Amino acid sequence: MKDARAIGVVRGFAALDLVVTFPLALPGWANVFFDLLYRATELVGPVGVRFAFSELSWFFVHLAGVLGVLWALARLATPTRFLAALDAIGRCAVAVLLVRALQHGAPAALWLFVATELVGAVVQGAVVARERD
């Protein structure tokens, strides 16, 4: 990437992802993250179903956190057009998964994450398209 603004966009979304995924990678912090998620949901309405996490569920939470941290660090260190395009595609997939979880009783606060994923996909998609020209 040559445009400083495009690099800033990719790094900005990577930094946001790092902040959100880092706690998920750490066993004690993941509990805090989910507690905050449920508390945020209480501010907008009833929580609904509070998911019970088995040890295997926590393993996958932490695994996703580690992968999210590594992906964010890769984009921070090397903000390329290719990584921005992959991230835009990945954000669309994550948004679909979040909507599916919301349909099955996940905390309503996750709608904020759906919005940020879709905004990130659109903004980075625009950066990728602009960089092509």
Global pTM? 0.89
What is the per-residue pLDDT for 133?
A: 52
Residue written as tokens 């309503």?
Answer: 108
Neighbours of 62 (CB within 10 A): 16
Residue written as tokens 């995924």?
Answer: 21
| pLDDT < 70 regions, the chain | 48-49, 132-133
What is the per-residue pLDDT for 43?
A: 86
What is the per-residue pLDDT for 105?
A: 85
Neighbours of 31 (CB within 10 A): 14
What is the per-residue pLDDT for 63?
A: 98
